[in-house]
């Protein structure tokens, strides 16, 4: 395929060079260096001669390797021209800034241009030999000409319309996921098998986001594997996707221990996407932690390889084949006709059916072709696609043919888009990125320089990106990034196509690959390990024309490659023409060498999450630098000459330690991104430097605002004219001791933002009132507002009049005592808080009354926590409320709205349920008075209740003789904690659908209710319930044949051996003993009848002396022992005296 598409974007590159040659600035620079203008003319004539044959060359390259090589040679020459022109322009601008008016002679430039002309003349001479003929009009696609991208439909994640003809498979997978496990200790795996582009990911996404699946699983995670199997990376990603913080290091055992602890006892769903390789042993090792989940956990695997299903020991396999003809046509119609009736366009309908028939049934190809043809909505354009050299699909080579179809689509891109698409080749598969990040990289490489375009580079980048997304070459990721910004990824086949397009000009260096690098390489993504890192860099430093370099560290601590100063000096001295350089995440990079100044063409520098604490002054000579990313660095200040970076557009200072801004930052008038502006102590007047930065967009955080003491300085900041800002964070010092309430109110009043603002946060403000601009309908577009620790304010502005406000969070505003009419606004013609969906009040210690009159027609979530003086009341008419959370509001007198689905009450003794919610699904009741007043009512009347948590009851024994738990027949999960009573008030055995019962810290509970436990109980967990444990022989566990998982944590005061004979039911497959400090012996007689047990987990039992001498159950496949000192010594692998008694167990873990 490389021979099919390489070099196809060269025409727009040549057009851009020709435009530069013809520009007045270029001619002036030639004169400044006393260069022969005739050379520029000759270069232009030569390039024009080549340009006349490019259209035919780009077509002939498919059939002739000689033409392909000719195009590659041309691309190399054009790269050289672009490099020379950038150097000339940069030197000219630097000399201009230095006021050097004297003409400068540069013989180096002249000789290089002559060599370039010779190179191009050779290509001109070859064009006749290759049979390339001049076209009547050369390609002129440098400027894009389609409709605004706003009119293009963008792809949506897991779109049901993309899943034609897969309904049977979808329901088959969902049925499998919702089913009970097969009794095995191994988490069941279902594998979706199909060639590339068949819709495996789309199908998995739709299942993953199905409401039934969301409700069934406690935790879900999605990880991408692709071409390189890395157990450490995959494990880390799973931990992260589950929402947990990562353990440090690269030790797989430690990571798996952490993962094991997190998922044990939980019902999880794991999706492993695009498995391509890895031996059975590798996957067996990776999946070890997932053999210990709760009953009902599942794993979905997607792969192109049928053998993977066997390696993964799949319980079920779903084979995806090509779509049926009718389904393929329906999918094509949805995208190509986009809401139009195909029968109203008979010519297009006829051609389209022939295209679909020729294409076959791969959904990715049909969707992308349809989206392309929607933008070429004419019979002529469709006929060109139909007549193109595109092979019909066969069962044997589906991947190849989908690849060819994607190549055909690529060749119908505008030429400028082709260049941007080719940049994808530098990214690894499974890589996710942000839209603005990609556009900045395109800009750095000069891919958006269209000199005749009327739009800015940013606007062109937006359009190019939206175009690629509209034809599904870019797709939205399942997981958003920080601030819920959308992340995007490319399908594997799309990445393969981009690599094919780039050929030898783009390269990824991973693992132990230390080969020579092609001399013409322009973009390299390199992973440096401790063993081969230096050899890789030696080879990279030989590529003098390199434009992009992405460096990653591998390893940890002493095994991690260190990018020391000497390594940097070699890099910066050799690779002088870099446009993009990123050391993102290189923790061992602690300082930046002065030689960074050699990179005079550098436009993009990413030092995020490195160990750098300061930047050298030499960085300030990087005239072309547009993007500087310092996220997460431990920087305390920026260089004093920072203002000299006059072309800087994007500066990210998030999570740094910067204590003040450098002087004269107002001279950086091109700045569009400035994440943080820090007002230094004793330098409050420097807030004036914001005055001229009117191109700022996105998010701006202004911190240490208490240092602004002069109202006039704040006025000069001119925030009102920052019309492109979307998010503004105004932060005062949290720990300051001075009282500046009057000054702060005056200052904040004049720091009026623009009315287009989308989100606003005000923190630690000590003024006595909020500014007038926060109400009065000024911020018409404000969607999100946070007011945190504004403790001196005694009244809120009329926030109810903000028409677009959806999220409002108020915390620690201690000066507020009453929220009344002023909160809603006095405009009787509008409904207050008409758009508000989420409302949160937290730690409002002075608040005692809420005068609720009207409003909140759209509110879905209401949270009130830690408001100890609040007496009344809640809004009564909340038609859309779904979730209500009230914690620790002991004085609050209120009634519960009747339409909620989730209710959480704790420490709210005067909150009553007058009218029981009919659709209640989940409830948490905490505190004695709450339980006494509400629990019986909820259980008796909530036929839809599925999950109930009860906690912190210390009253008398409750008795509800008339209560029948069968009325709550939907209850599946019951958790009781802190129950300080000797009995439970209901008969558990009558709960016919209860599957999971958790009891925690119920120290006075003596027994289960008479008649025992629910007949369908599958999971029983008991922790810190000593009285209950003492009566274990009375539970009747042995006859509970539904039980699969049993977990106990107790001191076992009355015994030193567990379990007793015939205590546990024979159906168990998981036993977990934890924190049993007095336990000495595992009783063999209590285990030998367990023929189904697969996992025995014993943790933190320091007195445990030994395992049963008679042996453990023969069915046991996993033995996990942790922090049991005596046992660890006795049963240590190959060294312990009793290791031979457990060595037959397949998986043994002793820590």
**What secondary structure does DSSP assign to 135-146, as a single string?**
-SS----SS--S
Q: How far apart are CA 1104 and CA 675, in angstroms?
A: 56
1117 and 1140 assigned to the same domain: yes
Q: How far apart are CA 931 and CA 911, in angstroms?
A: 11
Rg value, the chain, Cα: 34
pLDDT tens profile 227-239: 667 777 788 888 8
Tell me, letter by letter, the H, E, C secondary structure of 884-945: EEEECCCCCCEECCCCCCEEEEECCCCEECCCCCCCCCEEEEECHHHHHHHHHHHHHHCCCC
CA 869-874-877 angle, to 5 degrees, is 175
Minimum mean pLDDT range among 105-119, 243-257, 834-848, 905-919: 243-257
315 and 359 assigned to the same domain: no
Q: Domain boundary residue among 138, 159, 184?
A: 138
296 and 383 assigned to the same domain: no
Q: Report the pLDDT averaged over residues 1113-1120.
A: 86
CA 327-328-329 angle, to 5 degrees, is 90
Q: How far apart are CA 1082 and CA 1013, in angstroms?
A: 25
Does residue 340 sit within a domain? yes
pLDDT interval class at 810 (50, 70, 90): very high
Q: Domain boundary residue among 319, 339, 369?
A: 319
CA 122-14-602 angle, to 5 degrees, is 105
229 and 308 assigned to the same domain: yes
- Residue 396 in this model has a pLDDT that exceeds 50: no
| 3-state SS class at 964 | coil
Quote the pLDDT of residue 759: 95
pLDDT tens profile 699-708: 999 999 999 9
Q: Rounded to the nearest 10 degrees, how much is the dihedral formed by the CA atoms of 98, 104, 108, 109?
A: 80
Helix axes 10-22, 65-97, angle to 10 degrees: 30
46 and 125 assigned to the same domain: yes
Locus of tokens 């503004």: 728
Q: Which helix H or strand E contains 629, and what residues bound it? A: strand 627-629
What's the sign of the alpha-carbon dihedral 514, 519, 524, 528?
positive
Q: Which residues sit opposite 193 in a β-bridge? A: 303, 319
Q: What is the DSSP letter of 221?
A: E
Q: Which CATH number does the domain housing residue 280 bear?
A: 3.40.50.300
**Short-list 171, 172, 184, 263, CA closest to 217:** 263
Does residue 394 sit within a domain? yes
Residue 660 neighbours by CB distance under 10 Å: 18
Query: Please, are residues 982 and 1027 in contact by the beta-carbon 8 Å criterion?
Result: yes
Does residue 1125 sit within a domain? yes
Q: Classify 856 in phi/psi space as left (phi over 0), alpha (psi -120 to 50) or beta.
A: left
Minimum mean pLDDT range among 171-185, 386-400, 539-553, 890-904: 386-400
CA 39 to chain centroid: 51
* pTM of the full structure: 0.82
CA 109 to chain centroid: 46
Query: Please, are residues 581 and 557 in contact by the beta-carbon 8 Å criterion?
Result: no
Query: Please, are residues 197 and 163 in contact by the beta-carbon 8 Å criterion?
Result: no
Q: Take residue 760 and report the two structure tokens written for it.
A: 């606003």
Total residues found in the chain within this entry: 1151
Helix axes 346-359, 325-336, angle to 10 degrees: 130
1134 and 1098 assigned to the same domain: yes
Does residue 967 sit within a domain? no
Q: How far apart are CA 209 and CA 634, in angstroms?
A: 39
Quote the pLDDT of residue 579: 95
pLDDT tens profile 199-224: 888 888 888 888 888 888 878 888 88
Q: What is the DSSP letter of 81?
A: H
Does residue 726 sit within a domain? no
Residue 96 neighbours by CB distance under 10 Å: 12
Q: How far apart are CA 1013 and CA 1001, in angstroms?
A: 19
Half-sphere exposure of 800 (CA within 13 A, CB side): 22
pLDDT interval class at 480 (50, 70, 90): low
Does residue 633 sit within a domain? no
Does residue 393 sit within a domain? yes
**Short-list 715, 650, 638, CA closest to 678:** 638
402 and 287 assigned to the same domain: no
pLDDT tens profile 363-385: 888 888 888 888 888 888 888 77
pLDDT interval class at 137 (50, 70, 90): very low
Q: Report the pLDDT averaged over residues 1118-1139.
A: 87
Query: Which residues lie closer than 8 Å to 471 by C-beta, 6 or more apart?
Result: 368, 371, 372, 409
pLDDT tens profile 1022-1066: 998 888 888 888 888 888 888 888 999 887 666 678 888 888 999
Q: Report the pLDDT averaged over residues 1073-1080.
A: 88
91 and 127 assigned to the same domain: yes
Does residue 873 sit within a domain? no
Quote the pLDDT of residue 151: 38
Query: Which residues lie closer than 8 Å to 620 by C-beta, 6 or more apart?
Result: 639, 641, 642, 644, 645
Quote the pLDDT of residue 583: 93
Peptide bond connecting 873 to the previous residue in cis, omega within 30 degrees of 0:
yes
pLDDT interval class at 144 (50, 70, 90): very low
pLDDT tens profile 234-289: 888 888 777 776 656 667 777 877 777 777 767 888 888 888 765 666 777 777 77
304 and 337 assigned to the same domain: no
- Residue 1151 in this model has a pLDDT that exceeds 50: yes
233 and 336 assigned to the same domain: no
pLDDT interval class at 291 (50, 70, 90): low
Q: How far apart are CA 780 and CA 761, in angstroms?
A: 16
Q: How far apart are CA 157 and CA 155, in angstroms?
A: 7
Q: How far apart are CA 44 and CA 703, in angstroms?
A: 53
pLDDT interval class at 394 (50, 70, 90): very low
Sheet holding 548-553, edge to edge: 506-509, 523-528, 548-553, 580-582, 604-606, 627-629, 650-652, 673-674
Quote the pLDDT of residue 160: 54
Quote the pLDDT of residue 331: 85
pLDDT tens profile 742-800: 888 899 999 999 999 999 999 999 988 999 999 777 899 999 999 999 989 999 999 99
The count of domains in the chain is 4
Q: Domain boundary residue among 304, 319, 334?
A: 319
Residue 249 neighbours by CB distance under 10 Å: 11
59 and 37 assigned to the same domain: yes
Residue 465 neighbours by CB distance under 10 Å: 21
**Short-list 467, 416, 471, CA closest to 445:** 416
Quote the pLDDT of residue 135: 61
Query: Please, are residues 736 and 707 in contact by the beta-carbon 8 Å criterion?
Result: no
Q: How far apart are CA 290 and CA 126, in angstroms?
A: 62
Range of the domain at 67: 1-138
Locus of tokens 């003024």: 767
- Residue 1006 in this model has a pLDDT that exceeds 80: yes
Distances (CA, A) of 1068 to 184, 398, 963: 10, 46, 31
Query: Which residues lie closer than 8 Å to 339 by C-beta, 6 or more apart?
Result: none
225 and 328 assigned to the same domain: no
Helix axes 565-574, 533-540, angle to 10 degrees: 20
Phi and psi (nearest 5°) for 867?
Answer: -120, 75
Q: What is the DSSP letter of 557?
A: G
Q: Take residue 922 and report the two structure tokens written for it.
A: 């989940």
Half-sphere exposure of 118 (CA within 13 A, CB side): 6
Phi and psi (nearest 5°) for 229?
Answer: -80, 120
| 3-state SS class at 694 | coil
| 3-state SS class at 94 | helix
Q: Which CATH number does the domain housing residue 396 bear?
A: 1.10.8
Q: How far apart are CA 25 and CA 606, in angstroms?
A: 30
Residue 526 neighbours by CB distance under 10 Å: 19
């Amino acid at each position: 395929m490389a021979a099919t598409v390489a070099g196809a974007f060269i025409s727009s590159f040549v057009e851009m060079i020709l435009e530069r040659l013809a520009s007045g600035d270029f001619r002036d620079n030639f004169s400044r260096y006393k260069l022969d203008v005739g050379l520029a003319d000759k270069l232009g004539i030569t390039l024009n001669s080549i340009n006349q044959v490019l259209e035919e060359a780009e077509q002939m390259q498919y059939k002739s390797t000689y033409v392909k090589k000719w195009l590659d040679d041309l691309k190399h020459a054009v790269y050289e021209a672009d490099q020379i022109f950038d150097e000339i322009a940069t030197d000219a601008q630097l000399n201009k800034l230095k006021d050097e008016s004297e003409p400068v002679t540069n013989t180096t430039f002249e000789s290089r241009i002559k060599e370039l002309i010779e190179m191009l003349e050779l290509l001109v001479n070859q064009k006749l030999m290759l049979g390339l003929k001049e076209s009547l009009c050369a390609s002129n696609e440098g400027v894009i000409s389609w409709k605004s991208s706003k009119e293009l439909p963008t792809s949506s994640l897991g779109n049901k319309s993309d899943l034609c003809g897969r309904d049977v498979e979808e329901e088959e997978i969902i049925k499998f996921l919702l089913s009970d496990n097969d009794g095995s200790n191994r988490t069941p795996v279902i594998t979706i098998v199909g060639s590339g582009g068949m819709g495996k990911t789309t199908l998995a996404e739709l299942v993953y986001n199905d409401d039934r699946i969301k409700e069934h699983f406690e935790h879900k995670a999605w990880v991408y594997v692709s071409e390189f199997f890395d157990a450490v990376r995959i494990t880390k990603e799973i931990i992260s996707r589950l929402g947990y913080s990562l353990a440090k290091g690269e030790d797989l055992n430690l990571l798996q221990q952490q993962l094991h602890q997190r998922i044990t006892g939980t019902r999880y769903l794991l999706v492993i996407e695009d498995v391509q390789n890895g031996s059975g042993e590798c996957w067996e090792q990776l999946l070890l932690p997932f053999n210990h989940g709760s009953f009902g956990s599942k794993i979905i695997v997607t792969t192109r390889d049928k053998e993977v299903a066997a390696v993964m020991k799949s319980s079920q396999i779903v084979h995806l084949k090509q779509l049926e003809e009718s389904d393929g046509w329906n999918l094509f119609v949805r995208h190509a006709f986009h809401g139009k009736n195909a029968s109203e366009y008979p010519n297009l309908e006829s051609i389209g059916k022939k295209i679909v028939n020729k294409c076959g049934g791969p959904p990715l190809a049909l969707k992308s072709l349809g989206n392309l043809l929607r933008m070429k909505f004419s019979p002529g354009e469709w006929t060109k696609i139909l007549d193109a050299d595109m092979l019909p699909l066969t069962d044997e080579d589906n991947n190849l043919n989908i690849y060819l179809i994607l190549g055909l689509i690529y060749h119908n891109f505008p030429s400028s888009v082709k260049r941007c698409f080719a940049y994808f080749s530098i990214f690894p598969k499974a890589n996710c990125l942000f839209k603005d990040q990609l556009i900045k990289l395109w800009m750095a490489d000069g891919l958006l320089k269209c000199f005749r375009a009327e739009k800015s580079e940013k606007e062109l980048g937006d359009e190019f990106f939206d175009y690629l997304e509209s034809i599904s070459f870019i797709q939205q990721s399942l997981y958003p990034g920080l601030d819920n910004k959308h992340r995007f990824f490319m399908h594997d086949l799309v990445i393969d196509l981009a690599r094919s397009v780039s050929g030898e000009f783009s390269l990824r260096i991973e693992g132990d690959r230390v080969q020579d690098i092609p001399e013409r390489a322009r973009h390299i993504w390199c992973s440096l390990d401790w063993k081969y890192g230096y050899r890789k860099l030696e080879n990279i430093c030989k590529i003098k024309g390199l434009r992009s370099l992405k460096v990653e560290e591998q390893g940890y601590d002493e095994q991690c490659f260190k990018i020391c100063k000497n390594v940097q000096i070699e890099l910066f001295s050799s690779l002088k023409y870099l446009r993009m350089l990123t050391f993102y995440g290189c923790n061992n990079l602690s300082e930046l060498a002065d030689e960074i100044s050699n990179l005079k063409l550098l436009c993009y520098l990413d030092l995020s999450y490195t160990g750098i604490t300061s930047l050298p002054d030499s960085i300030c000579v990087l005239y072309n630098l547009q993007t500087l990313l310092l996220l997460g660095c431990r920087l305390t200040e920026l260089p004093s000459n920072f203002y000299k970076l006059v072309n800087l557009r994007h500066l990210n200072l998030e999570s740094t330690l910067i204590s003040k801004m450098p002087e004269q930052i107002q001279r950086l008038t091109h700045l569009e991104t400035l994440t943080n502006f820090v007002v230094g102590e004793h330098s409050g007047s420097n807030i004036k430097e914001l005055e001229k930065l009117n191109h700022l967009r996105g998010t701006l955080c202004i911190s240490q605002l208490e240092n602004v003491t002069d109202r006039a300085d704040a006025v000069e900041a001119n925030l009102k004219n920052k019309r492109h800002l979307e998010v503004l964070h105004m932060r005062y010092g949290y720990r300051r001791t001075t009282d500046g309430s009057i000054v702060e109110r005056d200052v904040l009043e004049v720091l009026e933002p623009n009315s287009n603002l989308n989100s606003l946060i005000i923190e630690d403000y000590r003024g006595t009132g909020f500014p007038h601009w926060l109400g009065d309908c000024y911020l018409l577009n404000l969607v999100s507002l946070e007011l945190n620790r504004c403790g001196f304010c005694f009244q809120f502005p009329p926030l109810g009049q903000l028409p677009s406000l959806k999220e409002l969070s108020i915390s620690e505003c201690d000066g507020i005592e009453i929220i009344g009419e002023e909160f809603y606004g006095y405009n009787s013609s509008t409904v207050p808080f008409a758009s508000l969906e989420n409302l949160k009040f937290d730690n409002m210690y002075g608040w005692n009354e809420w005068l609720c009159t009207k409003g909140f027609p759209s509110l879905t979530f209401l949270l009130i926590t830690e408001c100890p003086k609040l007496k009344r009341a809640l809004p009564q008419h909340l038609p859309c409320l779904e979730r209500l959370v009230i914690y620790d509001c002991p004085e609050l007198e209120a009634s519960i709205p009747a339409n909620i689905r989730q209710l959480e009450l704790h420490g709210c003794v005067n909150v009553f349920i007058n009218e029981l919610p009919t659709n209640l699904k989940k409830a948490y009741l905490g505190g004695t008075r709450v339980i006494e007043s509400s629990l019986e009512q909820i259980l008796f009347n909530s036929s839809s209740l599925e999950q109930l948590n009860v906690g912190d009851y210390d009253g008398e024994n409750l008795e509800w003789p008339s209560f029948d738990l069968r009325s709550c027949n939907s209850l599946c999960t019951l958790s009781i904690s802190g129950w300080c009573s000797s009995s439970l008030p209901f008969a558990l055995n009558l709960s016919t659908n209860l599957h999971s019962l958790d009891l925690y810290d119920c120290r006075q509970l003596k027994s289960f209710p008479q008649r025992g436990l629910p007949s369908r109980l599958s999971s029983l967990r008991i922790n810190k319930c000593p009285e209950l444990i003492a009566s274990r022989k009375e539970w009747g566990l042995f006859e509970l044949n539904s039980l699969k998982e049993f977990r106990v944590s107790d001191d076992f005061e009355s015994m030193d051996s567990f379990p007793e004979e015939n205590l546990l039911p024979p159906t168990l497959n998981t036993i977990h003993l934890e924190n049993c400090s007095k336990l000495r012996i595992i009783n063999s007689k209590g285990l030998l009848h367990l023929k189904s047990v697969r996992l025995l987990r014993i943790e933190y039992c320091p007195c445990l002396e030994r395992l049963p001498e008679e042996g453990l159950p023969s069915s046991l496949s996993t033995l996990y022992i942790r922090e049991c000192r005596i046992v660890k010594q006795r049963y240590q692998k190959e060294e312990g005296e009793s290791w031979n008694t457990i060595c037959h167990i397949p998986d043994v873990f002793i820590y």
